[in-house]
C-alpha cells in the first residue's frame, strides 16, 4: 500500500500521522491485505449454508378452549343486555 493511500485512510480516520508512522503503517497494511488474499484461494461450494444445522419453525396448532364459562363471569359483573359495563370515558 502506498503512502498516498495511507494518508487518505488517516485523513478519513482523523489521525495525524508522522512520516515514520506512515511508512510503518504502509508496510503493515500491505501485510494485512496479503493475509486476506489467502481467503481468495480457499475452496468454495455452491450449496454453502450459513448455518450447518437446519432451522425449522415448529408451531403447534392453537386450540380454542374456555377455562371459565362466560355466564359465570357475567354474574359477578355489572352487565347491560349481556355486555360488560366499564367506567365512562370522558
Q: Averaged in consecutive runs of 10 residues, what is the pLDDT profile of the chain (90 residues)?
A: 88 92 91 86 71 81 86 84 82
Q: What is the DSSP letter of 1?
A: -
Q: What is the pLDDT of residues 25-44, one digit of tens each?
A: 999 999 998 888 888 887 77
Domain that holds residue 23: 3-40
Q: Is residue 14 part of a domain?
A: yes
Residue with cell 386450540: 63
pTM for this prediction: 0.42
> What is residue 82's three-state secondary structure?
coil
pLDDT of residue 49: 65
Check residue 76 and give its pLDDT: 83
Q: Residue 36 maps to which CATH number? A: 1.10.20
pLDDT of residue 61: 87
Count up the domains in the chain and report the number. Answer: 1
- At residue 87, the pLDDT reads 82
What CA–CA distance (Å, rounded) separates 54 from 89? 52
Amino acid at each position: 500500500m502506498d503512502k498516498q493511500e495511507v494518508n487518505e485512510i488517516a485523513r478519513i480516520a482523523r489521525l495525524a500521522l508522522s512520516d515514520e508512522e506512515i511508512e510503518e503503517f504502509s508496510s503493515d497494511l500491505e501485510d494485512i491485505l496479503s493475509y486476506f488474499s489467502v481467503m481468495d484461494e480457499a475452496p468454495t461450494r455452491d450449496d454453502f449454508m450459513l448455518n450447518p444445522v437446519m432451522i425449522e419453525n415448529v408451531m403447534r396448532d392453537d386450540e380454542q378452549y374456555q377455562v371459565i364459562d362466560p355466564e359465570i363471569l357475567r354474574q359477578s359483573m355489572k352487565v347491560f343486555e349481556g355486555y360488560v359495563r366499564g367506567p365512562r370515558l370522558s
